[in-house]
Amino acid sequence: MADSSLAIQGDESSISKSVLIWNILSVLILGGMIFFSLNPTYFIKHIISRVPYSDPAMHIFSFGILMFCYCQAWKQNKIRMILAVCLLLFGLGLEILQVTLWGGAFEIEDSFANILGVGLGYLMSRVWNCYRLHSTF
């Protein structure tokens, strides 16, 4: 009996560690998104702006990865939906801050790319979790 209770405790510990890792990764991504969104002079922006469709691609990629990380940390669908709405509001807030801080233009395309990224991140998470359940490592 003692061995099985230890195994259960070990599983809970590993679950909480993975949640912690996914949440730390999410916070780091959020920090990067805030920095790169509100800093108009960083050198990468000048390089990326020369590539066609790079701005929407960056929005889709960053919001998709962020939603994927949050879905890995939080398994309840209600929390995931709340996080999705919060991410979309976060993206809208960043767009408004860009306009007010350095006179950038509000681009509705960026908001649509954010929505697409959040949706794709959620779908990637579902596919990843199904793959993990049905595969043997």
**Domains: count for the chain:** 1
77 assigned to some structural domain: yes
Q: Locate tokens 């940390």: which residue?
A: 73
Tell me the C-alpha distance between 71 and 73, whole Å.
5
- Tell me what the mean pLDDT of segment 99-114 comes to: 85
1 assigned to some structural domain: no
Cβ 73 vs Cβ 28: under 8 Å: no
- Report the percentage of the chain scoring pLDDT > 70: 81
The answer on pLDDT for 2 being more than 50 is no
pLDDT, tens digit, for every residue of 32-56? 988 888 876 666 666 777 777 788 8
120 assigned to some structural domain: yes
11 assigned to some structural domain: no
87 assigned to some structural domain: yes
65 assigned to some structural domain: yes
The encoded tokens of residue 86 equal 């919060």
Which of 36, 25, 27, 75 minimizes the C-alpha distance to 59? 36
82 assigned to some structural domain: yes
- Report the percentage of the chain scoring pLDDT > 90: 45
Q: How confident is the model at residue 114 (pLDDT cuts 50, 70, 90)?
A: very high
25 assigned to some structural domain: yes
The encoded tokens of residue 90 equal 């976060």
Domain containing residue 105: 21-134
